[in-house]
Amino acid sequence: MELPITPLIEWMPGRKGPLIISGPCGAETEEQVLTTARGLAALGKVTVFRAGVWKPRTRPNAFEGAGSKALPWLSRVKAETGMLTAVEVATTQHVEEALKHGVDILWIGARTTVNPFSVQEIAEALRGTDAAVMVKNPVHPDIQLWIGALERLSLSGITRLMAVHRGFYTSDKSCYRNIPRWEIPVELQTLYPELPVICDPSHICGRTETIAAVAQKALDLNFAGLMIESHIHPEAALSDARQQLTPAALGVLLDELVVREVSSANKSFTDELARMRMIIDEVDEQLIRTLARRMELITQVGEYKRDNNVTVFQLPRWQEILRSRIASGTIQGLEEAFVKEWCELLHKESIRRQTEILEIKKADL
């Protein structure tokens, strides 16, 4: 379904460059919230102040935010600094209390996005309002759940929508807290070009040392903005201390980011880009013809195996394909992970085609 989207420029007039959202992981005390907000406002680059008022935690007795008593603190932030305010909501009660206190933007967290029943209840609570809502991707890489949450809000009349890419859970060892899987938010942008997609480097990284690199990549991929956590005293933070920057450190990071243009008015640039793209198109056509020829050969192999009563999958052959193609790709300057993924995709299609040949034979018997 289509998602009617109100452009950011219509409800955030005067904003220049990427949208910057910042604030503490959790609202702890009024002094902490206001002091952090003042430091962020002084940068002149932060449009939205975020704070976790209600924080879903894995285990009980962990700090879960200050709760409803923190909402007046956010009202003070807005009145004093002019920044918009944003909080996470997970229940209809959260929605009602946040709107009652004039919170400008609500966001649905990764743990809530994964539950269609919870999202539907929030969507119903928002029906008839003009609230702005950000939807974080679900914990696991399921783009349909992400889209489904956006659709439920859209069906309730919410048009001021944004998506937030905060990475995905992995059990593998990684330099990230949540692996980016950039292809998923890029696919979302492709499906819904009018939908602003924001990147949350804090939750992707889990530590401040790598936030700048992830933030830069998000901007290079033409994300609409960044959500980066900031705390006046990160070392004393009651939650996620390692991923929060001081306002001053955030200012340095933002100053060093390179914001690139979507296009160029330079004719020599556009002419040369068009020439290079034409060559790429020709190479792609050659690749497609080569792939088609490969699949013709796979069909012949499948029929030959069938006629000689040989299994479709043969491990030694698959291991040799991986070894030789990765070695060849490495010589050509290709990344090993890319060649491996490419081989796995071809192998999956080869197995499907050969299995289909056997199924056709069984149907004819």
Least confident of 57-61, 130-134, 243-247, 272-276: 57-61
My answer on whether 25 and 66 are in the same domain is yes
With a cut of 60, say whether residue 183 has pLDDT above it. Answer: yes
pLDDT confidence band for 13 (50 / 70 / 90): confident
My answer on whether 55 and 147 are in the same domain is yes
Distance CA 203, CA 169 (A): 10
Mean pLDDT score, 324-342: 96
- Give the residue with greater pLDDT, 60 vs 43: 43
Strands 48-50 and 132-136, bridge-based pairing:
unpaired
Report the CATH number that the domain containing residue 306 is assigned in CATH.
Answer: 1.20.59.10
Total domains in the chain come to: 2
> 135 near 108, Cβ under 8 Å?
yes
pTM for this entry: 0.86
My answer on whether 36 and 130 are in the same domain is yes
My answer on whether 134 and 224 are in the same domain is yes
- Give the residue with greater pLDDT, 201 vs 17: 201
Q: In this structure, is residue 126 part of a structural domain?
A: yes
Provide the pLDDT for residue 365.
56
Mean pLDDT score, 28-33: 97
With a cut of 80, say whether residue 222 has pLDDT above it. Answer: yes
- Secondary structure (DSSP) of 175-192: SSSSB--THHHHHHHHH-
User: Which of 256, 279, 295 delimits the end of a domain?
Assistant: 256
My answer on whether 231 and 342 are in the same domain is no
> 227 near 198, Cβ under 8 Å?
yes
Q: Give tens-digit pLDDT for 259-306.
A: 999 888 899 999 999 999 999 999 999 999 999 999 999 999 999 999
My answer on whether 323 and 194 are in the same domain is no
Q: In this structure, is residue 2 part of a structural domain?
A: no
Provide the pLDDT for residue 80.
97
Provide the pLDDT for residue 361.
64
With a cut of 80, say whether residue 347 has pLDDT above it. Answer: yes
User: Which of 256, 275, 306 delimits the end of a domain?
Assistant: 256
User: Which of 225, 256, 287 delimits the end of a domain?
Assistant: 256
My answer on whether 155 and 94 are in the same domain is yes
Q: What percent of the chain has pLDDT over 90?
A: 90
Q: In this structure, is residue 71 part of a structural domain?
A: yes
Q: In this structure, is residue 261 part of a structural domain?
A: no
CA angle 104, 56, 36 (to 5 degrees): 50
Provide the pLDDT for residue 295.
96
Q: In this structure, is residue 33 part of a structural domain?
A: yes
Mean pLDDT score, 29-46: 97
Q: In this structure, is residue 353 part of a structural domain?
A: yes
How many C-alpha atoms does 115 have within 13 Å on its Cβ side? 10
Q: How far is CA 92 from CA 71, 99, 165, in A?
A: 16, 11, 23
How many C-alpha atoms does 49 have within 13 Å on its Cβ side? 33
My answer on whether 44 and 124 are in the same domain is yes
Q: How many CB atoms lie within 10 A of CB 188?
A: 19
Q: Give tens-digit pLDDT for 62-109.
A: 888 899 999 999 999 999 999 999 999 999 999 999 999 999 999 999
My answer on whether 191 and 322 are in the same domain is no
Q: How far is CA 86 from CA 51, 173, 363, in A?
A: 7, 32, 59
Provide the pLDDT for residue 61.
78
Report the CATH number that the domain containing residue 230 is assigned in CATH.
Answer: 3.20.20.70
CA dihedral 298, 304, 310, 316 (to 10 degrees): -40
SS3 67: helix
List CB contacts of 126: < 8 A, sequence separation 6 or more.
95, 106, 133, 153, 156, 157, 158
Mean pLDDT score, 203-231: 97
My answer on whether 308 and 338 are in the same domain is yes
Containing structural domain, residue 342:
267-364
The DSSP bridge partners found for residue 230 are 245
Provide the pLDDT for residue 362.
63
Which tokens is 187 given?
A: 């696919």
DSSP H helical segments within 101-142, as ranges? 110-113, 116-126
SS3 106: strand
With a cut of 80, say whether residue 343 has pLDDT above it. Answer: yes
Distance CA 291, CA 297 (A): 10
Average confidence score pLDDT of the chain:
95
My answer on whether 24 and 169 are in the same domain is yes
My answer on whether 177 and 231 are in the same domain is yes
Least confident of 15-19, 48-52, 223-227: 15-19
